[in-house]
Structure 1
C-alpha cells in the first residue's frame, strides 16, 4: 500500500474543483508526498501542479484507503482546502473546473469521492 495525500478544494463561492483524468473519470486531486514533504504540503502542491490553483488547507477530513484505477491501494489523507482562480489544464488532463455541489455530485466517478464530497460539504466553513 502506498501513502497519498489529497483533498476537496472549494473556491470563494463554495464551488467544487474537479479534474477529468486520462481515463475520463472526474476525480478530486490526489497524489504522493515527495521525500521530506508533509501530507499537507503534498496536497497543496498537487492542486497547484494539476490545476494551477493556489490552495490553503482548512482542516483535516479523515484518512481512508483508496484503490486507484490502476489497482494501486493507497492510504489517502484527505484535506478540506480553499482555492481561487480559473483552473488550467495539464498534459493528460481532459477537463478541469469549478462546479456547484449539485453538479459535482453528478460528475463524480468513484463512490469514495462522492462520500468525501458529502462529508466535506457538511464541514465546509461558512
Structure 2
C-alpha cells in the first residue's frame, strides 16, 4: 500500500465594502481568486490569509468557511473561505500579473479556468453551504 500524497489548498473569496470581488490574474490560469497550497504546520485559515496577502497585497480576515472541492483522481482538496479586506493595497507578485476588485457579475465572467467560476458561485450562495463536491 502506498503512502498518501495529498495536496491541500486554501482559497478565499474576498468581498470589499462595495460588494466587489478581489481577483488576481495568474500567469497560467488567468483571473481567479487568491489561494494556494497549505504548508506543513499551517492551518487552513492561516494558509488562506497568507496566500491572499502574497498574491494580492491585501490583508484579510476570514469571515466564513464555505466548503471543499475534492479532485479525487489527483488527490487534491481545495478548501474555500469567504473573507473581507482589513488592510493592504492591491499589489502584483510573481504569481499575479494583475490584481483588482470587480463587481461580482463582471468578475465571474472574467474567471474562465475550469470550475473556478463555479467555486466562487458556491461560496457566494449561502443556501448550499457548507458544501462538499468531489469529482
1:120 pairs with 2:107: no
Partner of 2:91: 88
1:28 pairs with 2:33: yes
* SS of residue matched to 1:120: helix
Q: CA deviation at 1:91?
A: 2.4
TM-score (norm 2): 0.78
The aligned length equals 119
Gaps spanning 5+ residues in structure 2: where? 1-5, 127-135
TM-score (norm 1): 0.84
Partner of 1:75: 77
Q: What value does the CA root-mean-square deviation take over the aligned residues?
A: 1.9
* SS of residue matched to 1:118: helix
Gaps spanning 5+ residues in structure 1: where? none
Task: Tell whether the 8 Å contact from 2:14 to 2:83 is kept in structure 1 after alignment.
Answer: yes
1:4 pairs with 2:6: no
Between 84-93 and 13-22, the greater mean CA deviation after superposition: 84-93
Partner of 1:38: 43
State how far apart, in whole Å, the 1-side matches of 2:40 and 2:75 are: 19
State how far apart, in whole Å, the 2-side matches of 1:110 and 1:117 are: 12
State how far apart, in whole Å, the 2-side matches of 1:92 and 1:98 are: 17
**Dislocated runs of 4+, deviation >3 Å:** none
Q: Which has the higher strand share?
A: 2
In our comparison, the structure showing a higher alpha carbon Rg is 2
